[in-house]
Chain A
């Protein structure tokens, strides 16, 4: 089983729509959670960290469910510029290494 699994999508949504997707992780010792964004042919960049209580950053909302071992990302009022691949990233408490999901592709159309 992969350490981090994501629905690859693609999620194809119109501008202004809301899109949400999940990521599951297998290591119950995971302690730190992140969403990274990767544009086509570019390097990944941190979108937001995910905190236990859930957190928002503008139109982006991240949630963590430790009991079910999944995290989610919701994008409200989608913009064309939100088109990208979103990588779920997890780190265990006893490890410095990051585990990456394969990414969820979102395409926002006009």
Chain B
């Protein structure tokens, strides 16, 4: 299993500003992901955080808006840049420890409100 510490748990931000969300895992993991979950909707994958290289973004998400860092196998950050009210959502960090079991573990989520 994996224990994930994600922070902040929530924030209220002014439009035009940026917020960086941190995800710390208690063990080294190969795969780390960032998701967005809007109210009443499914989790949408933003990107796969790659250790030592640029993240792999999904369609509709770009690096300028959602820069991601992954300096090592236990830590990643997601920045939501130049925020607008449409960015209000829950952002979740996720990891997979073992490809055999394929269980995904999630951080507690960051509830972001942009005003």
Contact = CB atoms under 8 A, between A and B. Distances in A.
B31 interface: yes
A100 B43 contact: yes
A100 B109 contact: no
Interface string A1-42: 010100010000000000000000000000010100000011
A102 B108 contact: no
B106 A43 contact: yes
Interface residues of B, number: 20
A98 B44 CA distance: 9
Contacts of A80: none
A28 B51 CA distance: 31
Contact of B106 (A8, A32, A34, A45): A45
A32 B102 contact: yes
B49 to A, nearest CB: 13
B109 A98 contact: no
Contacts of B108: 42-43
B73 to A, nearest CB: 16
Contacts of B40: 8, 102
A43 B42 CA distance: 12
Contact of B104 (A2, A41, A98, A101): A98
A101 to B, nearest CB: 6
B106 A4 contact: no
Interface in A79-97: 87, 89, 91, 96-97
Interface string B76-108: 000000000000000010001001001110111
B45 interface: yes
Contact of B92 (A2, A32, A43, A103): A43
A106 B92 CA distance: 22
In order of increasing CB-CB distance, the 6 nearest A-B pairs are A43-B106, A102-B42, A100-B42, A100-B43, A46-B103, A43-B109
10 contacts: A43-B92, A43-B108, A43-B109, A44-B104, A46-B104, A49-B103, A96-B99, A97-B45, A98-B45, A102-B42
